Structure 1
Amino acid sequence: MGDMKLQYTSPAAGWQQGLPIGNGRLGAVIQGGADKEIWSLTEATYWSGRAEEPQSATGGKAALAEMRERFFAGDYETGERLARATLEPPKGNFGTHLTLADLEILFDEGGGADGFSRELDLEKAIVSHAYSRNGSLCRREAFATHAADVLVTRLTMGETGGLSFRLALSGRTSLFSTGADASGYIRFRSQATEDIHSDGTCGVFASGIVHVAAKGGAIACEGNGLRIEGADEAIIYVAVSTDYGKTDSDWEAESVQAIELAAGQSYEALRAEHIADHGKLFARVSLDLGEGDNGQSALPTDERLRLLRSGEGDDPALYALFYQYGRYLTIAGSRENSPLPLNLQGLWNDGEANRMAWSCDYHLDVNTEMNYYPTEAANLAECQVPLTRFVAKLAEAGRSSARTFYGSEGWVAHVFTNAWGFSSPGWGLNWGMNVTGGLWIAMQLKEHYEFGLDRVFLKETAYPVLKEAALFFLDYMVVHPEHGWLVTGPSNSPENSFYPNGRTEGPEYALSMGATMDMMLVRDLFDFCADASATLAVDEELRARLKSAMEQLPPLQVGSNGQLREWLEDFGEAQPDHRHLSHLYGLYPGAQITPQGTPELSEAARTTLQRRMGREGLEDVEFTLAQFAASFARLGDGDNAHKQLTYLIGQLCFDNLLTYSKPGIAGAETPIFVADGNFGGTSAIGEMLLQSHAGAIELLPALPANWPSGKVEGLRARGNTIVNMRWEEGSLAEATIRPGASGTLVVCSGGRTATLEVETDRAYKLDGELQATMLRRM
C-alpha cells in the first residue's frame, strides 16, 4: 500500500501540529514531544444547547404569499423586510459541539532527547513517539479503539524502573469536576455549557475515567491528578460516556464498564483487535500515484508541505497520502454505530469555531455534505450510516418547521442543524433562508442507495425521508406569474447576494424566487422519488404528480457573461469572488451537467469557475478549493483539478494535514480547522480517477500530467461495483471490474467505450483498449 504515515522529527508545538485519533465517538489530538503530551479530548455528543420547538412570529401560507408578491414584482427591499419579520426566529439555545477536556502527561526524565520522531500510521491508526534519553529508548504509542470503545496509550522506557510521570485532567467548560485515587484512577464529570450559542445553563452531561495500569513502581495522588514513579511501563485508558439521548442514569456506568473490559485484556490483544477492526475498512483501497523524481516521500510531512508551498520538486505520493488521510479521518470520525455524524470539525475540536458566530455545528450549505462526499466511492459505505440515521431524525424534527413557517406538509430544514435536529431558518437572510439545506444533506441518502443498491435501505429509509421532502416542496412551491415555472422562494443562493434589475451597484439583496441551487436539488429529488416509487411499486398517484411538476421546473440557464446563472434572473453578482459555488451542484456532486450530455451548460460551468478563480479578492477557502478541484475533474480537466489540490494541500493545511479556514473568512479571527477540506479534497482525487454518475463507469476521467503512472485498487462505483486499475504514461494499462449487479455495464476511458454484459459473481479484466476478458467466478 505504500508508506501511509504522517511523520515528523520535532514535537507538536500545539493543536495545529497534533495528530488526531478517533473511534467514531471518542477523539483526541495528541500534541507535545519528549517532555510532555497533551491530549485534546472530544466526544461526539458533547454539545451545549438543547432541543427547542421552532418559533415563528406569524408564518404560514398567507405570509408567504405576501412576500412572494413583492419578490415577483421586483420589490426586493419590501420582500426582505417581510421575510425578516416572519422567517428569522430567535436563536435560542442552539448550542455547539465543545472540546471535552485536556489530558496532560508530564515526564520527569532528565537529560536531552536524541533522535526524536513521531508519526501517525494510517494503516494501523496508531500515533507513536520514539526517542533516546541517556542511552535508553523511550517509546509511546496511542490509539482509539472502536472495538473496545476507549482511548489507549502505552508508555515504555528502555531501562527497568525508568518511567516516571504526572497525569492531570483539566476541563474546557466551567462545570467540570475531577478527583483521583491512588489505585490509578482519575474520575471526572462535566456539562457542556457556554454562553455564545446558548444561555450557559444547558448542555449534555459527561462522565469519564482515566485509568493508569503501571508495571512496577508506585502510584500516588497529586492534587486532582496522579503521579507514577519508577515504573517499567504504563498503560493509560480513557473512557467517556454522556447522557445524550439517555432517559435514565445507567449511562454513567458505561465508562466504568468500558475501562474494566479494556483493562481486562492484554495490551497486545487490545492493540491487535484495534488494528484488525480499523484495517477491515482502511485496507479496502490502496493508491499509488508514484514517487516523483526527488524522493520527497521519505522526508518529514511538514518538510514535504514546505516544499509543496514553495513549488520545489514533485511529490505525487503526498496527494496519495492526503487521499488516504481523508479515508482515515472518515473511519476515525464516523463508524457505523457512531451516535452522531461528522460535524464542522469532524470528531475533533480546536476550540476556535466555538467562539465564532457560526459555531461548531452541522452546516448544511455544503460543509456537512462535503464531509461525506468521498465516503461511498472511497469504499467506506458503512461510515455514512450515522449520517443517514441523523437525516431521518432531522426529517422528523423538520415537520414542525414545515408547518410553523410555511403552513406546508412534509419536512424542511435550513442552513444548519445541531445535535437535536434544529430545523428552523437561521437568523440572517443571506444564509439563514436556505430552504433546501435539509434537502441537500438528505440527498446523501440517494447517494448511499445508488452506490449500494440496498433495496431494504431504499424502502425503509431513503424513500420515506425523501418522499416527505418531496411532499413539502410540492406544497411549498408556487408558479412564477411571468414564466409559468414552478419555483421555490423566498430563498437564497447560500451566503451570496445580487444586484437586481440589471444594476451593477447599489443595494444588494439575498432573497429571490427560484435560485438555481434550489431548482437543481428539487429536480433531483422529484426524479429520484418518482423512480423509487416505481422500483418499490408504491405511490402511483404521487409519481404522476412528481413527473408533472418536473415538467414545470425552470431549466438551467446561461447568463450574459457566459456563466451558469446563480439565480433565476440574470442578476448582477454583488460578490463575484464569493467562496460558495452552490449553483454548481448540478456539475458536482450532482449529474445534471456533464460534458457529454450538456456541453453548453458544461462550458457555462467552466466559465463560472474561471470567473471566480480570476478574481483578485477570491476567498480561497478550504471547501471552495475542494469544490474547484472536483468540478474541474467532472469537466475532465485533470491539470486544473491538480492545481486546485496543490493550493489546498500546500496553502490551506496545518502541519498535521488538517485543512483550515483563513482569518477573515466569515469573521474568523484565527486559522480554524474545518474538516470539509480534507474530505472534499479526498473526493476530488477520487473523481479524477473514477466517475460513475453519468450512466457509465469512466476510468481516469481527469488524470493530470503530474501523475503519469500509478495504480489504485478498491475504488467503488455506483451499482456497488469495485474497480482496480493501473495506468502508464498517462493512459489506462489495465483494469479489473467486479460488478455489484448483473446486466449491462458501460465502461469508458480515453475516448473509448465498452459495453459489457456482466454477472455479479464474476470479475472482468480490461486492457488499455477496453477489450474485456471474463475471469473465473468469485
Structure 2
Amino acid sequence: MQDIIWSAKEADRWQEAYLLGNGRMGAAVYGGVFEETVDLSEITFFSGSPSSENNQKGAALAFQEMRSLLQEGKEEAAMERASDFIGIRENYGTNLPVGRLKIALENSGEKPDGYVRRLDLKTGLFSMEYRQEGSTVARNAFVSWPDQVFCYEIKTGKPESLSGRIWVDGGENPFSACTEEGEYRFQVQAREKLHSDGSCGVDLSGTVKVWCEDGRISFPNGMIAFTGCSKLLIGLWMETDYEEKAGLTAGKEKKAGCKKLNLQEEYDRICSRHREDVKSRMERVSLCLGTKEEQEAASAVPTDERVLASRQGKEDPLLFALAFQFGRYLLQCSSREDSPLPAHLQGVWNDNVACRIGWTCDMHLDINTQMNYWLSGPGNLPECRRPLFAWMEKLLIPSGRISARESYGRKGWSADLVSNAWGFSAPYWSRTISPCPTGGIWQASDYMEYYRYTRDEAFAREHAYPVIREAVEFFTGYVFEGEDGRYLSGPSISPENAYIKEGEKRFFSNGCTYEILMIRELLEEFLELASFLPDLAQKDRTLVMQAEKILPRLLPYRILPDGTLAEWAHSHPAADSQHRHTSHLLGVFPYAQITPEGTPELAEAAWKSMESRMCPEDNWEDTGWARSLLLLYSARLRRKEAASHHLRSMQKELTHPNLLVMHPPTRGAGSFMEVYELDGNTGLSMGIAEMLLQSHSGELRLLPCLPEEWDCGSVDGLLARGNVRVGIRWQEGRLEEARFTAARQTLVSLEYKGMHRPLSLEAGVTETVTGEFFMHVGT
C-alpha cells in the first residue's frame, strides 16, 4: 500500500474527499455510504468572455511617463499616472464548480461496519468497501482519459438489495435537467457576478447513463431511480462550448456530442484501459523510504490518522514518499497532452472557495502556474506540459502582442500578473501590483525546461525558439540604459510586495531584482537556443547581437549592508519584511544564476534573505506554495536541515487529511477559509525530487540534500536534464548504487558529496555505479 491513500471514515467536506481527473473532467469523491457526493468540475468551465479592450487607450504613453517620473524620484506622481496605465478587467471570469452528482441509497437502518475508502495513485482508482446485512458492498470510481467518461460502480453480494436515486445538483449555477431516451441530461451555465457581469461564460452539457443487474431503472421527477439491483454502473459525460466562445473553432468540425458507451458491455474494458493508462505514467517513477517492515507498519495506519498524528508532532518521514507520488498523480490528473487548457490554480478541480474571493481560480503568472508544471521534468511527465504550450501559442501570446503594443509601446509579446481561459495578458487592474510584464517570460521558460529534459530538437526549433525570440524582441526594447551604463527596466513591481519611502508605502520602481533576473534568464535562454540553431540565429543576427550586448550589462545582483539580497535597485525597507512572495530569490530556484559553487557570496546573501523572511517564523505568511519555494531554495543551496524543516512544517501545518496542501488565509491573501492550490502539492513533490537529484548547471548531483531521517531508501525513474533516467539507492544515509540510462549517447558529469566523476553513456544502455565509484577521485 505504498501508493495508496486511505481512510476508515467518510469524508465530511471537500478537503477530505479523494480527487480523480483526466486532464479535462475532475471529480472529488466523498465516499458516502447512504448518500454519496461527487463534486464535479471541468477545466474549461469558466465564466466571462474574451475581450479586445483589456488595455487602456494611451497606456503606452502613461507607462513612459511613469518611468520618467520614477527616474526623477517622483513616486507619488508616477502612481497617479498609473491610473491611465492599468489593465481593464471587463468580463475576466473564473473557473467554477460544475455541480454535484448525488447517489442516495435506501437506508436499511443497519449501521455498516468494516468501512474503508482508498485512492490508488498507481491506477487512479477510488474504491470503497463495507459490510452490511451480512454482505460486502464494494464501490469503484474513476475518470477515464482514453474514454473520456466518469464511472461509478456499486456491487453487493446480497441479490437485489440496491435501491435508491441519482441526480445532479448544479449548485449556484443556472441549471436544468431532464430525462430523454433512457438518459439523464443536464445543462449548466458558468455564470457569476464577482469576476464578470453574470451574463456570460461557458455552457456545459452533461449526460448520466445507468445500467443495473437484476433490477429496474426508472425516471421519476427528473431523477434516476434504481430498484432491486445487485450491481449498478453509472457513466457521466460532460462537454462545453468553450472552444467556440474562445474563438478557437476556425477550421474545426463542430463536435457531434459526447461519445456514448455501452456500460453493460464495455465497462470492464473501459476500467482496464483507464488503469493501464494511469499506471503507465505513475510507474515511471518510484520512491521508497524506510525498511520494508517500516513501510508495512506505516501503510497499515489510515492516511488521515497519520496526517493528524504529524500535526500533533509525531515524525512520519515515510509519509513524504506518498506525498511525492501524490503530487505526480495530481499533475497527470490535471494536465494531459490534449487538455483544452493548462492546469489552473486548482488543477482540474474546484473547491468553490478560490472562485468566490478576489484571487479568482485562474492562471496566476507570478508563481502558481509555473509551480504547477516544474514537477513534469524530474517527475518524468513531460507530456503534461503540452497544454500549457498550446494555450500560450493559441491565446496568451497573440493577446500578449496586443498588450506589448498598446500598454508598453513595444514589439513582441508580453503578459503580466494573471491570465485566464480567454488569454488575458494586459496589466493587472490595480496600481499596487502593476506593471509586471515578466509574468509571460517566466512562463515561457517552461519551453526551455521541456527541451532540456527531453532534448526534442524539433520542439526547440518549431516552438521554443519562436516564442522566446519574440519575447526577446519585446524586452530588448523594454530595458533602458542608466547613467552608469547598466541596463535597467521598469517601472514594475516585486510580486507582490511593497517598500517604504519617507513613511509611505510604494509599490513599483525601476530595476526590481525580480524583473532583471527574469530578463537575464530570457536572454541566456535565447542565446543558448541560438547557439545550436545557427540557421535561425543567422536570420535574427541583429537581435542576437542586441541580446549579447545587453546581457552582461544588466543591473547586477546587490547585497545589502545586513547581508541580504536586495529586492529592489534601491535600499528602502520592505513594507512587509515577511511577505509570502520571495521573487527576488528566483535566481536560486528555478534558475541557476545563484549557486553555492559559482556565486558563493550571492548564495550566502540569498540564504540570509530566507532567514530574515522567516524571523520570527510564526509571523511568516505561510502558504503551501510559499513554503515549497523555501524548500526548493534550501535544497538548491544544500541546506539539508532547513529543507527537512520545511518538509516537516508543510506536513504539520499545511496538509489536509487527504494530503492536499492548503493556502490558509493570510494578511496579504485573505479568504473566508483555506484554499486548495495544486502548486502546493506539485511544489512539495518538486522539492523532494530536488533533495534527491539535481541536474542544473550541467552536472548531475546525487542525494544533494538527503534528510537525516531518510536513513535508507531508493528512487527510480527520476528524469535529469539531458533526458537521462536516474535510479538511486542509499543505506545509512550513504549512496550504495546509482543507475543511469540516456536516450542518446552522452557524457555526463556526476557529483556526490563534493566528489566529481565523468560517466559516458550509450543510448539505451543502463550504466550502474556504486558509492565506491567516487571514493578514489579528487574533488
Q: Which letter does structure 1 place at the counterpart of 2:99?
A: A
> Which residue of structure 2 lines up, in the alignment, with residue 205 of structure 1?
203
- State the percentage of identical aligned residues: 37
Q: For 2:465 and 2:79, how far apart are their aligned partners in 1? A: 34
Given that 1:241 and 1:252 are in contact with CA atoms closer than 8 Å, whether structure 2 keeps it comes out as: no
Q: For 2:773 and 2:82, how far apart are their aligned partners in 1? A: 56
> Which residue of structure 2 lines up, in the alignment, with residue 676 of structure 1?
679
Given that 1:560 and 1:570 are in contact with CA atoms closer than 8 Å, whether structure 2 keeps it comes out as: no
Structure 1's 83 and 657: CA in aligned 2 closer, same or farther, altered over 3 A?
A: same
Structure 1's 712 and 222: CA in aligned 2 closer, same or farther, altered over 3 A?
A: same
Aligned-residue offset at 1:60: 5.4
> Which residue of structure 1 lines up, in the alignment, with residue 282 of structure 2?
282
1:512-567 per-residue CA deviation (whole Å, 9 max, x = no partner) reads: 01111111111111111112122111223321111111022011111121111111
Of 62-71 and 552-561, the range deviating more from structure 2: 62-71
Q: For 1:381 and 1:346, how far apart are their aligned partners in 2? A: 16
Q: For 2:124 and 2:370, how far apart are their aligned partners in 1? A: 25
Of 4-13 and 47-56, the range deviating more from structure 2: 47-56
Q: Which letter does structure 1 place at the counterpart of 2:355?
A: N
Given that 1:54 and 1:401 are in contact with CA atoms closer than 8 Å, whether structure 2 keeps it comes out as: no
- 2:698 aligns to what SS in structure 1? coil
**Alignment equivalent of 1:230, drawn from 219, 228, 231:** 228
- 2:219 aligns to what SS in structure 1? strand
Q: For 2:486 and 2:436, how far apart are their aligned partners in 1? A: 20
User: Does 1:724 find its partner at 2:727?
Assistant: yes
1:108-162 per-residue CA deviation (whole Å, 9 max, x = no partner) reads: 1411111111010101110111000011100100001101000011111111111
- 1:160 aligns to what SS in structure 2? coil
Aligned-residue offset at 1:244: 1.1
> Which residue of structure 1 lines up, in the alignment, with residue 480 of structure 2?
478
> Which residue of structure 2 lines up, in the alignment, with residue 360 of structure 1?
361
Of 273-282 and 740-749, the range deviating more from structure 2: 740-749
1:432-464 per-residue CA deviation (whole Å, 9 max, x = no partner) reads: 322211111111111111111111111111110
> Which residue of structure 2 lines up, in the alignment, with residue 334 of structure 1?
335
Structure 1 residues 490-501: aligned runs within 5 Å: 490-500=491-501
Structure 1 residues 235-314: aligned runs within 5 Å: 235-246=233-244, 247=249, 253-255=256-258, 257=259, 259-260=260-261, 263=263, 265-290=265-290, 295-312=297-314, 314=315
Given that 2:86 and 2:429 are in contact with CA atoms closer than 8 Å, whether structure 1 keeps it comes out as: yes
Q: Which letter does structure 1 place at the counterpart of 2:468?
A: L
User: Does 1:161 find its partner at 2:160?
Assistant: yes
Structure 1 residues 43-58: aligned runs within 5 Å: 43-58=42-57
> Which residue of structure 1 lines up, in the alignment, with residue 760 of structure 2?
757
> Which residue of structure 1 lines up, in the alignment, with residue 3 of structure 2?
4
Q: For 2:604 and 2:305, how far apart are their aligned partners in 1? A: 39
User: Does 1:745 find its partner at 2:748?
Assistant: yes
Of 350-359 and 534-543, the range deviating more from structure 2: 534-543
Aligned-residue offset at 1:252: 6.2
Q: For 2:191 and 2:255, how far apart are their aligned partners in 1? A: 19
Given that 1:22 and 1:332 are in contact with CA atoms closer than 8 Å, whether structure 2 keeps it comes out as: yes
1:475-514 per-residue CA deviation (whole Å, 9 max, x = no partner) reads: 1221223x322122110001100123xx5xx111110011
Aligned-residue offset at 1:245: 1.1
Aligned-residue offset at 1:189: 1.4
Structure 1's 770 and 388: CA in aligned 2 closer, same or farther, altered over 3 A?
A: farther
Structure 1 residues 429-468: aligned runs within 5 Å: 429-468=431-470
User: Does 1:221 find its partner at 2:225?
Assistant: no
Q: Which letter does structure 2 place at the counterpart of 1:191?
A: Q
> Which residue of structure 2 lines up, in the alignment, with residue 776 of structure 1?
none
Q: For 1:117 and 1:682, how far apart are their aligned partners in 2? A: 26
**Alignment equivalent of 2:693, drawn from 690, 693, 702:** 690
Q: Which letter does structure 2 place at the counterpart of 1:498?
A: Y
Of 55-64 and 630-639, the range deviating more from structure 2: 55-64
Given that 2:106 and 2:163 are in contact with CA atoms closer than 8 Å, whether structure 1 keeps it comes out as: yes
Structure 1's 207 and 480: CA in aligned 2 closer, same or farther, altered over 3 A?
A: same
Given that 1:764 and 1:772 are in contact with CA atoms closer than 8 Å, whether structure 2 keeps it comes out as: no
Aligned-residue offset at 1:185: 1.7
Aligned-residue offset at 1:429: 2.8
- 1:330 aligns to what SS in structure 2? helix
Given that 2:59 and 2:86 are in contact with CA atoms closer than 8 Å, whether structure 1 keeps it comes out as: no
1:234-262 per-residue CA deviation (whole Å, 9 max, x = no partner) reads: 1100101111113499756322x2x23x5
1:161-191 per-residue CA deviation (whole Å, 9 max, x = no partner) reads: 111121011113442111125x642101122
Given that 2:31 and 2:117 are in contact with CA atoms closer than 8 Å, whether structure 1 keeps it comes out as: no
Q: Which letter does structure 2 place at the counterpart of 1:521?
A: M
Of 284-293 and 139-148, the range deviating more from structure 2: 284-293
Q: For 1:531 and 1:250, how far apart are their aligned partners in 2? A: 40
> Which residue of structure 2 lines up, in the alignment, with residue 186 of structure 1?
184
Structure 1 residues 583-598: aligned runs within 5 Å: 583-598=584-599
Aligned-residue offset at 1:771: 5.4
Aligned-residue offset at 1:770: 2.9
> Which residue of structure 2 lines up, in the alignment, with residue 514 of structure 1?
511
User: Does 1:469 find its partner at 2:434?
Assistant: no
Question: Which runs of no fewer than 5 residues in structure 1 stay unpaired?
Answer: 774-778
Structure 1 residues 70-81: aligned runs within 5 Å: 70-81=69-80
Given that 1:534 and 1:540 are in contact with CA atoms closer than 8 Å, whether structure 2 keeps it comes out as: no
- 1:440 aligns to what SS in structure 2? helix
User: Does 1:652 find its partner at 2:665?
Assistant: no
Structure 1 residues 67-216: aligned runs within 5 Å: 67-85=66-84, 87-110=85-108, 111-181=110-180, 184-216=182-214
User: Does 1:415 find its partner at 2:442?
Assistant: no
> Which residue of structure 1 lines up, in the alignment, with residue 346 of structure 2?
345
User: Does 1:20 find its partner at 2:19?
Assistant: yes
Q: Which letter does structure 2 place at the counterpart of 1:487?
A: L
Q: For 1:14 and 1:65, how far apart are their aligned partners in 2? A: 50
Aligned-residue offset at 1:308: 0.8
Of 68-77 and 271-280, the range deviating more from structure 2: 68-77
Two-structure CA RMSD over aligned residues (Å)? 1.8
Q: For 2:525 and 2:774, how far apart are their aligned partners in 1? A: 33
Structure 1's 150 and 499: CA in aligned 2 closer, same or farther, altered over 3 A?
A: same
1:41-84 per-residue CA deviation (whole Å, 9 max, x = no partner) reads: 01111100111014444435543332112111222111111122
> Which residue of structure 1 lines up, in the alignment, with residue 556 of structure 2?
555
Q: Which letter does structure 2 place at the counterpart of 1:145?
A: S
> Which residue of structure 1 lines up, in the alignment, with residue 629 of structure 2?
627
Aligned-residue offset at 1:392: 1.9
Aligned-residue offset at 1:571: 2.3
Q: Which letter does structure 2 place at the counterpart of 1:476?
A: Y
Q: For 1:57 and 1:468, how far apart are their aligned partners in 2? A: 23
> Which residue of structure 2 lines up, in the alignment, with residue 528 of structure 1?
525
- 2:508 aligns to what SS in structure 1? coil
- 1:105 aligns to what SS in structure 2? strand
User: Does 1:545 find its partner at 2:542?
Assistant: no
1:695-716 per-residue CA deviation (whole Å, 9 max, x = no partner) reads: 1000101001010111000000
Structure 1's 534 and 59: CA in aligned 2 closer, same or farther, altered over 3 A?
A: farther
**Alignment equivalent of 1:618, drawn from 617, 620, 634:** 620
Aligned-residue offset at 1:289: 1.4
Q: Which letter does structure 1 place at the counterpart of 2:389?
A: T
Q: For 1:166 and 1:772, how far apart are their aligned partners in 2? A: 68
Question: Which runs of no fewer than 5 residues in structure 2 stay unpaired?
Answer: none
Q: Which letter does structure 1 place at the counterpart of 2:206?
A: G
Q: For 2:78 and 2:265, how far apart are their aligned partners in 1? A: 65
- 2:235 aligns to what SS in structure 1? strand
Aligned-residue offset at 1:297: 3.4
